[in-house]
Structure 1
Amino acid sequence: MNSRQNQLQAFDRLLTIMDELRSQCPWDKKQTMESLRHLTIEETYELGDAILDNDLDEVKKELGDVLLHIVFYAKIGSETDDFDIADVANGICEKLINRHPHIYGDVKVENEEEVKQNWENIKLKEGKNSVLEGVPKSLPALVKANRIQDKVAGVGFDWEKPEQVWEKVEEELSELHEEVKDGDKSKIEDEFGDVLFSMVNYARFLDINPENALERTNKKFIKRFQYLEAKSKEIGKSLKEMTLAEMDVFWEEAKRL
């Protein structure tokens, strides 16, 4: 691993390159925070993919892309004298110190849950009106549901046992089943949402990230379906020409790979 001096030199090198690109490159000179926003979101998802694939070399590369964006935003902020990279770094340092009184103060904690509860209580003391203010509106719904539940649990609004949560899942499934029989699409959608929300809550009690779980299933399905597509080409048939029984043979083969 690199020494702290080498790490700081590498960061200084990145800041210098950013200065040069911003002043000399036509594309970099043209960028704004708004124009970078969608690219930053894309880079973050690419980092997430690399993490799920456990591709550490790719994680390193994607972290570099995300770091570049952080430096880019700070550079733009410095041009209007609003903030620079030092303000960004010092801001997060102060936040971390303030929100870890068990490390930088005299508060005692017994476990991770107490740390999370202190974190949310401190944020309320900082002037937030709701523990849910920190949940971005633009988060995908599944991720947002997990963050909402995590936030409210931090201030004690939570179930006590996994069994209670599973009972809630079963209750919501039963209500969904009844609405499906009645056929009211609006009510079906409401109940379907309640089922998903309760399943996300259950995942929390199982110490499973629901977004990661669903994405793993997505990847698994894609891999198996593409195997099926490849096999259909080998036998000279399109998927539309194959029976479900024929497709199922290759699907079972894919599951064993």
Structure 2
Amino acid sequence: MAENSPQAVLEVLDALLGPNGCPWDREQTPESLGDYLLEEAFELVDAVRRGEEKDIAEELGDVFFLLFFLSRLLSSRGQIPGLQGVWEANARKMADRHPHVFADARCTTRDDLHATWERIKKKEKGSTDGTEYVRSSVASIPGSLPPLLRAYRLHAKAAKAGFTWDTDAEQQAATGREWEEFRQVLAEDDPKRKEEEFGDLLFSLVEFGRRQGIKANAALHSANLKFIRRFEAMLDLARHKGLDWSGLGMEEKDALWEEVKRSESRSGVNRYSGGSGG
């Protein structure tokens, strides 16, 4: 076995999918592998954000394994030209989309880069109708993306198509209107309407963050981690003080929460390692 190259993984796959291989692996299809690939990709991203080097290497290996597995099944169906063909096609595409690196084009700003990228993609799609290109661009955003990430991508695509507010102030005002609409339906006995307005508010907040260079999905992930860290520290503090958590009132719990926050501030805990919280 070629232990020091991707060939080692391919040889393992050959054995697993062979006549004497693993029954479970032999039952898999490109469609059935989709959920496993998504799960492993999320685990890899989580490891990267935690900065755990051992976990990063392991999860990266799992993602590569599933990508090789998927490519082997697709290749056997004749749907792709094999891994080598995929790699070569991607290398050509990436070189073509970066003419400022691989050719003599010049891009001096980020806006220039985005404009060049979109122009090349439009040419690749053979689209001469701007409307149809925008439609296909939006439709290409995977429905399986986490909702916050998908909302961010939708806003980004809409902005590139020129469908966004001219100024941050206008967008902020629109977010304020969404908040007021949500507040108005809270008094109604209509759960679906409340859900709809809350969704509109979240969608607007995602754009609010995007315009400030903030990715909502990553920001909320950090906020989750921060809450978990502080909540666990609060429970530990209560135990250290000999307090019965179940018997504490909300005011006492708030006091513990604030003490944890002050302790973090004094100890220099990276406020961005866990997002933003109250």
TM-score (normalised: structure 1)? 0.83
Q: Number of matched residues? A: 249
Cα deviation code 1:136-163 (max 9, x no counterpart): 1122211111000111222333334333
- Alignment-derived partner of residue 43 in structure 1: 40
- Alignment-derived partner of residue 212 in structure 2: 206
Q: Following superposition of structure 1 onto structure 2, how do residues 56-95 of structure 1 map, counting pairs within 5 Å?
A: 56-83=53-80, 84-95=82-93
Cα deviation code 1:95-122 (max 9, x no counterpart): 3233334334554333222322333343
The letter for the 1-side match of 2:28 is: Q
2:184 is aligned, of 178, 199, 213, to 178
1:195 is aligned, of 177, 193, 201, to 201
Q: Which has the higher helix share?
A: 1
- Alignment-derived partner of residue 122 in structure 2: 124
Separation in 2, partners of 1:13, 1:223 = 40
Sequence identity percentage: 31
The answer to whether residue 111 in structure 2 is matched with residue 113 in structure 1 is yes
Separation in 2, partners of 1:188, 1:103 = 50
Separation in 2, partners of 1:117, 1:194 = 29
1:141 is aligned, of 131, 142, 147, to 147
TM-score (normalised: structure 2)? 0.78
- Alignment-derived partner of residue 272 in structure 2: none
Separation in 2, partners of 1:111, 1:133 = 28
Separation in 1, partners of 2:164, 2:115 = 12
RMSD: 2.6
- Alignment-derived partner of residue 14 in structure 2: 19
Unaligned runs of 5+ in 2: 265-278
Separation in 2, partners of 1:36, 1:236 = 49
Q: Following superposition of structure 1 onto structure 2, how do residues 145-160 of structure 1 map, counting pairs within 5 Å?
A: 145-160=151-166
Separation in 1, partners of 2:165, 2:53 = 36
The letter for the 2-side match of 1:113 is: D
Task: Go from structure 1 to structure 2 and tell me whether the alpha carbon gap of 1:189 and 1:94 turns closer, same or farther (over 3 Å shift).
Answer: same
The letter for the 2-side match of 1:237 is: D
Separation in 2, partners of 1:19, 1:197 = 46
| Conservation of the 8 A alpha-carbon contact between 1:121 and 1:155 | no
| Conservation of the 8 A alpha-carbon contact between 1:165 and 1:202 | yes
Separation in 2, partners of 1:138, 1:78 = 23
Unaligned runs of 5+ in 1: 1-8
Cα deviation code 1:178-204 (max 9, x no counterpart): 333455443333322222112111111
